[in-house]
Structure 1
Amino acid sequence: MAEIISMPQLSDTMEEGTVIKWNKKVGDKVSEGDILAEIETDKAIQDFEIDVNGILLFIGVKEGEKTRVNDTLAIIGEEGEDISFLLSKFKKNKEKERRFISPVAKKMAKKIGIPINQIKGSGEKGRIIKRDIETYEKTFDIKNLNHNKNKEVITRYPHSSMRKRIATHLTNSKFTAPHYYLVIEINVGEMIQLRKNLNEKLSIEDRISFNDIIIKAVSISLKNHTNVNASWKKEEIIYHPHINIGVAVSVKDGLLVPVIRNTDQKSLLQISKEIKDKVLRSKSRKIQPEEIENSTFTVSNLGMYGIEFFTSIINIPNSSILSVGAIMEKPIVKDSKIEIGHVMKVTLSCDHRIIDGTTGSSYLHSLKNLLEDPITILV
């Protein structure tokens, strides 16, 4: 008997998914365990593994198209099986979706160049009607922009699933957790020398980055300041026994934060290799949802882009996030003499519900001491 295969919910926050690639075509035999398609969620691109046997009789979503969770993705059944009833049901559901905008409104939106998913319908059951298009047009003066060559044309793109999730997450953090910021300058001359000495002994693919050293030092400092490795809950503060460092990675359409678990228990080389692997898979959206969950502290490094100083929004439920700036040359005082040195500014964004000023300051000074004498992180 034919079975409808629905768009799966591949993450706890997923509301819709985009089919990136079908690995089977209509008429192909499929077996339990086969990867039917690659699906992009709000977090990653994941393989969708099928759990039934049969023939792929129908594909309901084209490559590049998105659909909501639980909508029909495909139909699998026996060869030659009559699925006309299921197809008619599928078509009716599609027609229902199309009726959310009137033909006149749809024509107007296409002519003017308005993405209809940006318009809230005022008709029955949220249907977009002519009046909605006219209101939208007047508000944004789109008609003049599109038809007057002397003016710029506004380009609009609908929000991606990832961008919507990021917006919700960061808005919730910024307006829930009372942020404050602590900045400290670190003399990183010894860190630079340590990295140089280590990399002289390592192969090109195993070379250590400054970020690797910083993350190792962050985890050791957290081990000595457990009150920073915490999360705020409605009725309690949770002090985590494990140290899981989230590493902010810029990807197309947003930001992913793969997590290095039990960072304090891993060697510098282990941390480096794991970061390289997870950054690579994050950029190709092949990271798995469970690999970007359950961080206890986050590090965001924009130093590689020449940013000297910045602040970050806390990645809740973490209680803090460390923003790492660029390494800069400047005059410093050493042994009562002025010389050219290398310094780096880091900013700790703190949730004041959990971390008081003295607590955050104590943590930053611990981190500073480690990075100014980094050989201790190898012990």
Structure 2
Amino acid sequence: MATKMTMPQMGYDMQEGTLVRWLKSVGDEVSLGEAVAEIETDKAVVEFESTAEGVLLELLVEEGTTVAVGESIATVGAEGETVAADGDDSEEATEAEPAAEEASEPDAEEAAEAEEDESEADAIPLPASPSEVRASPIARKLAAERGVDLNTVEGTGPGGRILRSDVLAAEPMPAPSEEPEEEEPAEAPEAVEEPPMPEEEAPEAVEEEEPAEAVEEESAMEAPEEVEEPVEPKPEPEGSDMGLVPLTRMRQQIARTTVGSKTTIPHFYVSTDIDMTDAMSLRKEINASLEGDARVSVNDLVIKACVHTIKGFPKFNSSYTDDGIRMHDSINIGIAIADENGLIMPAILDCGDKSLTEISVASKNLVMRSQSGTLHAEEYTGGTFSISNMGMFDVTSFVAIIQPPQSAVLAIGTVQKKPVVQGDSVVVREIMSATLSVDHRVSDGAEGAQFIVQLKEYLEHPLRLLV
């Protein structure tokens, strides 16, 4: 039986993705887990791995097309197997063609008869309802927001399906914006409970008998017009009249994620200064005997220290749910990677069993593949704890926003020399500031303080990181 492969959800709030490039062609054999396409999410380009095994029977989406999560993009089945012409998901697609034709002929005749009956009953043909128009969920939502009539939009997707880009290219219809203005005055008198009065006479009765209320009703009816006027210029920011820069898909995703995090996750913060003098000396000794990607960075030391600390405080490697706190077995450390387009936070998977040099190699490999667009989906979405390091920008300290559905993120600044009082003396030490952001639904301030103090102990006594 043919199997449909659908647009995957590579992120807890991902709504759509763009199919950048097909890596396989129709007729090619594909195995389970084999890369068949490259998909651009809001933050990265990720290889899409086949969810079925067999022969690639058809490609339902052209390269460059934006598709909603869950929509079919390809069909995989046995060699020579037939599929429905329009890519339906029903099991009837795999039945013999004669049976399919016989089943469809009566339906076609009935549909034709029904159309004739409707045309005789109604003098004016009714336009297709929005539900009958073939359009993606994202296109429907966007059309509703922009006031675009889907019946007037020509779809460029498979089988004439209306896509998000088609709605963006369409101009809002003037009729829908005018109709509410004419209908609202007729509907407004319904609030005045006078059943015997016809709709057309209602406004006259209100004006003659209750002038005071009529004035209030007219002002109330005019209010929607004032509210609707700012809504109409929505499509204008795409041009240059407003002088606005359109948001990229990545920036839109960052906006959704950060707003969602700050409005749904109650953050609290704990900060401390960490003496990195011994850690920097150990790093220098280790790197003296290493080459290439194995050379250890400050961030690698922090990752390793976080792994050790999490093992003692597993609650910070969890996710909050309405049913309880979900504890994660694997420690997947997300690292913030910035480029000219925005910020992503892919994860180094299974850090719990990795040595310091293994973490160093994995970290550099992750950065390289994020830049080349070859991240795996689980690296993009599988983080359980994150680290944001702005030390390379000479930032001394800052606070980071938690990446949902994680429960904590560590923000670290640059390592700089500072005077420190030790006993009765003032000495110069290499100090790094660290701030832990925590989901208050998962943990409390005392536990957050214990976590960051333990992290400080590991970094100030770095030999423990090698055990």
TM-score by length of 1: 0.74
What residue is the counterpart of 1:64 in the other structure?
Answer: 64
What residue is the counterpart of 1:149 in the other structure?
Answer: none
Deviation at 1:12, TM superposition (A): 6.1
> Which residue, 394, 416, 420 being the options, matches 1:306?
394
1:173-192 mapped onto 2 (5 Å cutoff): 173-192=261-280
Could you tell me how far apart the structure 2 residues matched to 1:212 and 1:84 are?
52
SS in 2 for 1:339: strand
String of CA shifts for 1:230-284, please: whole Å, max 9, x gaps.
Answer: 4333243345454332222235644333333443432101111122222222233
Task: Say if 1:294 and 1:76 are closer, same or farther in 2 by CA, change over 3 A.
Answer: closer
Contact 2:19–2:40, Cα closer than 8 Å, also in 1: yes
Contact 2:346–2:366, Cα closer than 8 Å, also in 1: yes
SS in 2 for 1:53: strand
What residue is the counterpart of 1:32 in the other structure?
Answer: 30
More helix by share: 2
What residue is the counterpart of 1:263 in the other structure?
Answer: 351
What residue is the counterpart of 2:205 in the other structure?
Answer: none
Contact 1:9–1:15, Cα closer than 8 Å, also in 2: no
String of CA shifts for 1:312-354, please: whole Å, max 9, x gaps.
Answer: 1122333321101111222222353223322110001122233
> Which residue, 363, 388, 412 being the options, matches 1:275?
363
SS in 2 for 1:218: helix
Contact 2:414–2:433, Cα closer than 8 Å, also in 1: yes
Which region of structure 1 is more displaced relative to structure 2, 165-174 or 190-199?
165-174
Q: For 1:41, give the aligned amino acid.
A: T
Could you tell me how far apart the structure 2 residues matched to 1:284 and 1:356 are?
40
1:1-379 mapped onto 2 (5 Å cutoff): 7-9=6-8, 11=10, 13=12, 14-23=14-23, 29-33=27-31, 36-42=36-42, 44-47=45-48, 49=50, 51-53=53-55, 61-69=61-69, 73=73, 86=86, 93=134, 101=148, 117=168, 135=230, 146=241, 153-157=243-247, 159-160=248-249, 162-240=250-328, 242-251=330-339, 253-379=341-467
Which region of structure 1 is more displaced relative to structure 2, 171-180 or 14-23?
14-23
String of CA shifts for 1:73-93, please: whole Å, max 9, x gaps.
Answer: 4689999x9999649xxxx84
More strand by share: 1
Contact 2:400–2:409, Cα closer than 8 Å, also in 1: yes
Q: For 1:360, give the aligned amino acid.
A: G
Calculate percent identity across the aligned residue pairs.
30
String of CA shifts for 1:64-114, please: whole Å, max 9, x gaps.
Answer: 3323346564689999x9999649xxxx847997995469x99xxxxxxxx
Deviation at 1:307, TM superposition (A): 1.5
Task: Say if 1:372 and 1:136 are closer, same or farther in 2 by CA, change over 3 A.
Answer: same
Could you tell me how far apart the structure 2 residues matched to 1:95 and 1:174 are?
30
Which region of structure 1 is more displaced relative to structure 2, 298-307 or 331-340?
331-340
Task: Say if 1:144 and 1:318 are closer, same or farther in 2 by CA, change over 3 A.
Answer: closer
What residue is the counterpart of 1:109 in the other structure?
Answer: none
What residue is the counterpart of 2:217 in the other structure?
Answer: none
Q: For 1:38, give the aligned amino acid.
A: E
Contact 1:39–1:48, Cα closer than 8 Å, also in 2: no
String of CA shifts for 1:13-65, please: whole Å, max 9, x gaps.
Answer: 5432212123456xx64333485532223464214547453776xx6644333
Deviation at 1:209, TM superposition (A): 0.6
Q: For 1:46, give the aligned amino acid.
A: E
SS in 2 for 1:39: strand
SS in 1 for 2:311: helix
Q: Which runs of 5+ in 2 are unaligned?
A: 88-132, 154-165, 178-224
Could you tell me how far apart the structure 2 residues matched to 1:143 and 1:11 are?
28
Could you tell me how far apart the structure 2 residues matched to 1:294 and 1:143 are?
35
Which region of structure 1 is more displaced relative to structure 2, 237-246 or 189-198?
237-246
Deviation at 1:207, TM superposition (A): 0.5
Could you tell me how far apart the structure 2 residues matched to 1:12 and 1:208 are?
30
What residue is the counterpart of 1:110 in the other structure?
Answer: none
SS in 2 for 1:368: helix
Q: Which runs of 5+ in 1 are unaligned?
A: 107-114, 147-151
SS in 2 for 1:330: strand
SS in 2 for 1:310: coil
Deviation at 1:213, TM superposition (A): 0.5
Could you tell me how far apart the structure 1 residues matched to 2:302 and 2:237 are?
49
Deviation at 1:211, TM superposition (A): 0.5
Could you tell me how far apart the structure 1 residues matched to 2:362 and 2:238 are?
52
Q: For 1:17, give the aligned amino acid.
A: G
Question: Would you say how many aligned residue pairs link Structure 1 and Structure 2?
Answer: 356
Could you tell me how far apart the structure 2 residues matched to 1:177 and 1:94 are?
34
Could you tell me how far apart the structure 2 residues matched to 1:321 and 1:95 are?
36
Contact 2:56–2:75, Cα closer than 8 Å, also in 1: no
Could you tell me how far apart the structure 2 residues matched to 1:119 and 1:133 are?
19
Could you tell me how far apart the structure 1 residues matched to 2:70 and 2:63 are?
17
Contact 1:7–1:68, Cα closer than 8 Å, also in 2: no
String of CA shifts for 1:198-225, please: whole Å, max 9, x gaps.
Answer: 0001112310111011111111122233
Could you tell me how far apart the structure 2 residues matched to 1:168 and 1:234 are?
21
- Kindly report the root-mean-square deviation, in angstroms, between the aligned alpha carbons of the 2 structures: 4.7
Task: Say if 1:66 and 1:339 are closer, same or farther in 2 by CA, change over 3 A.
Answer: same
SS in 2 for 1:367: helix
Q: For 2:243, give the aligned amino acid.
A: V
